[in-house]
Amino acid sequence: MSTYIVMIYGDEGVWEAWSEEQGRANAAAHGAFNARHGAAVVGGHELDRSWRGRSIRADTEGRVQVTDGAFLPGSTVLGGYYLIEADDLEHAVRIAADLPEASAPSSGVEVRPIAAP
């Protein structure tokens, strides 16, 4: 078994515009995902909104610069992640395809292997 990170991306504006019912439906879909694949899930969390975070990078002179918000500008941000164990990348992709964001028009999912130490 190998470990993979499943990153959930989406448009924060769409998420923030959800009705209470849509939010509950999404939470229920994640509950169903965990019920189906819980043995493979070794961790994960929803992230707070990007505007609450800070980005740290060097300027052209190598000085550390801290800015408010997401690392990359735009409406699509990292909204959460799961750490899963799977036989191989294809198996991890099949698991991640069951996430509601994998089929949502304003979201997407990326699966990447965790590098060996």
Compute φ and ψ for 61, nearest 5 degrees: -100, 5
All domains of the chain in start order, with CATH: 2-113 (3.30.70.1060)
Please tell me whether residue 3 adopts helix, strand or coil conformation: strand
pLDDT given for residue 72 in this prediction: 75
pLDDT given for residue 75 in this prediction: 77
Rounded distance between C-alpha atoms, residue 75 and residue 77, angstroms: 6
pLDDT-based confidence at residue 70 (cuts at 50, 70, 90):
confident
pLDDT-based confidence at residue 17 (cuts at 50, 70, 90):
very high
pLDDT-based confidence at residue 95 (cuts at 50, 70, 90):
very high
Q: Which helix (H) or strand (E) holds 5?
A: strand 2-11
Which residues pair with residue 46 across a beta bridge? Answer: 80
Asked whether 10 and 74 are in contact (CB, 8 A), the reply is no
pLDDT given for residue 73 in this prediction: 72
Q: What is the mean pLDDT of residues 17-33?
A: 95
